[in-house]
C-alpha cells in the first residue's frame, strides 16, 4: 500500500495529515500489518487534549494491545465513530476511511519535523532488514 506523499509519519507508525491548523491522525499500513486483525479501538472524546509523543488511545488486535502515540499536540475535534463497530477497517483502509481522530493543532509547524513518506518507507525497510536477519 502506498504511503500518501502529503502525510507525515512517526517512528511509532502513526500518520498525520495537516490541513491548515486541523490534522487527521491514523496508524500506518505497516502498523496494521504488524498488528494483524484489529478487533477493538479506544479513542479520546472531542475536547480531549493530546500531547506529542504521549499515548492517546489503543488499538487491539486479537493477540495484543497497542498504544497509539500522538504525532503532535492539540485538542481532539472528532473521533472516528465508525471504528467502534467496524475496527477491521483499520486493516483494509488505514490511510483513508480508518482515520482515528481529528485534532486542532497547538503548533502546526512542529509537524514538519516528522518523517515524510520517503523517509518513513526507508525507515520501515531498514526495520524489515533487521527482522529477516
Partner 1 sequence: MEPTTTSHTSALRKTALNALHRSLGAKMVNFGGWDMPVEYPSSGGLIAEHKAVRGSVGAFDVSHMGDIRIRSGAKPGGALAAVQHISMNDASKLAIGQAHYSAMLYPEGTFVDDVIVHRLGEDDFLLVINAGTREKDINWVRENTKGFDCVVEELSDAYTQLAIQGPRAIDVVQRLTDVDLSGIKNYWFTHGTVCGLKNTLVARTGYTGEDGFEIYVPSDVATSEKVWKQAMEAGREFGIVPCGLGCRNTLRLESKMALYGHEISDKINVWEAGLERYCKMEKGEFVGRGALEKAKAAGLTRTLVGIEMVDRGIARDEYCCCNEAGEKIGVVTSGSPSPTLGKNIALAYVPPAYSTVGTALYVEIRAQKCKAQVVPTPFYKRAKKAAAPRVS
Where do contacts with partner 1 occur on this chain (CB under 8 A)? 12-14, 27, 31, 33-37, 39-40, 42, 58-69, 127, 130-133
In the complex, minimum distance from the CB of residue 39 to partner 1, in angstroms, rounded to a whole number: 5
If the CB atoms of residues 24 and 32 are measured against partner 1, the closer one turns out to be 32
Mode of pairing for the β-strands spanning 74-79 and 101-105: antiparallel
Bridge partner list, 75: 49, 104
CA distance 78 to 45: 7
If the CB atoms of residues 26 and 74 are measured against partner 1, the closer one turns out to be 26
Bridge partner list, 17: 24
In the complex, minimum distance from the CB of residue 52 to partner 1, in angstroms, rounded to a whole number: 16
φ and ψ of 68, to 5 deg: -110, 130
CA distance 33 to 38: 10
If the CB atoms of residues 109 and 131 are measured against partner 1, the closer one turns out to be 131
In the complex, minimum distance from the CB of residue 15 to partner 1, in angstroms, rounded to a whole number: 12
Amino acid at each position: 500500500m502506498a504511503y500518501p506523499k502529503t502525510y507525515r509519519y512517526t517512528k511509532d507508525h502513526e500518520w498525520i495529515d495537516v490541513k491548515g491548523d486541523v490534522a487527521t491522525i491514523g496508524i500506518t499500513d505497516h502498523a496494521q500489518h504488524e498488528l494483524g486483525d484489529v478487533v477493538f479501538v479506544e479513542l479520546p472524546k472531542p475536547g480531549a487534549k493530546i500531547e506529542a509523543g504521549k499515548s492517546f488511545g489503543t488499538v487491539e488486535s486479537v493477540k495484543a494491545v497497542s498504544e497509539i502515540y500522538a504525532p503532535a499536540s492539540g485538542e481532539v475535534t472528532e473521533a472516528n465513530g465508525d471504528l467502534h463497530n467496524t475496527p477491521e477497517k483499520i486493516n483494509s483502509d488505514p490511510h483513508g476511511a480508518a482515520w482515528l481522530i481529528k485534532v486542532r493543532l497547538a503548533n502546526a509547524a512542529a509537524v514538519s519535523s516528522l518523517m515524510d513518506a520517503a523517509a518513513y518507507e526507508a525507515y520501515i525497510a531498514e526495520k524489515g532488514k533487521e527482522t529477516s536477519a
